Amino acid sequence: MTSTTDLQPIIGPSAWRGDELAEFSDWIYVLSDAERTELETLGRRFLADDPDLRTVAAADYPLDACLDLNAECAHQMDAGRGFILVRGLSTNEYGDPLAAAIFYIMGLHLGQPIGQNQMGDRLDHVIATSNKTLEDPSALPSRVRDRLPFHSDSSDVVALMCLRAAKSGGASSLVSGTTIYNEILRRRPDLAPLLFDPFHWDWRRQDPDSPQLTYTSPIISYVDGTFSTYAGSSMIFSAQSYPEVPRLTVEQVEVLQLFDEISQEPGLAIDMDFQPGDVQWLLNYAALHSRTGYVDFPEPERRRHLLRLWLKRDVGRPLVDQFGKHVVVMGDPAAPLKPGGRFRIGDAVTVNDDWGN
């Protein structure tokens, strides 16, 4: 394990700037005709088989033409920039069930889909189901149109498939956690070591049925040369509402605010103008994600609509103890669930408009 003393900047492909990446297109993987045809064929078989989303495996839908695609997605997440955008699926021609089936098969080959809510749903939706804003404490970030702060999700990998784009706005924004850390180290080397210390995170705000109010995790892990980030200062500040949580020090508040300020600086993030059929794969330990605010079309069926997968990706990544949302065992089949989970693709692809209202 690497000590936090004598900290040095982190170098490598995960330390990128958005304004530099935007000059190139090598972070976009455009499907070949053979790859697209294979995914469509497998997707149709998936629909016909109608497997249980909790037990279906990658081996049930083996890849041939898409082996290079799978390898490149895995490489970029594990040892590259931390993300990749796959383009070329004609989701506007498929219908939502086939698009979802293709997305799920792609996910099976990159990790284990895990539950995203108290019902254990493997496939979730990013779509505005009300006119709430983030100022409303009952609002779900995935179900409003506001710009979101940069954050990490509760999984190894978060993936998004665009079914329908917004009328305006709604770009997917990514920022390098490595670059943010390097900037903090350059500007305030006195504050950088605090990122390796545990903070209290608001577990109850994330999961209304959580057994405890908070859990603890550092923001930065650096083990055996592997750098990882877990961020989302809003949940740290929210945890301060519980009297039993230790008060943040002045220096801790400073480093959290500096982290957020740097993440919003012009040029640091890359904004992706999601197009129907785009699929984004993101390693939560490498990059933080957000989105710009957006305006929907007036017709409900034309609302901006993304599908989301959370994956457990077990590739032996070294992390410090109790890093991230360690209080939840990803993919635990014994985890208690509320009734109502939807574990068939035809059910899972249908939006629950009551969720988030």
pLDDT score at 2: 43
Point out the least confidently predicted range of 3-7, 188-192, 202-206, 330-334: 3-7
140-149, 259-268, 285-294: which has the minimum mean pLDDT?
A: 140-149
Closest CA to 274 of 28, 18, 78: 28
Residue 309 is inside which H or E element, if any? strand 305-312
pLDDT at residue 35, rounded to an integer: 98
The pTM of this model reads 0.93
- Give all domains of the chain, ordered by start, each with its CATH number: 24-348 (3.60.130.10)
Closest to 88 measured CA to CA, from 151, 44, 139, 35:
35
Tokens of 324: 């991230």
The pLDDT value recorded for residue 245 is 98
Distances (CA, A) of 105 to 119, 209, 212, 214, 323: 21, 30, 35, 34, 29
| Mean pLDDT of all residues belonging to the chain | 92
pLDDT at position 1, please?
Answer: 42
Question: Which tokens hold the place of 316?
Answer: 């032996």
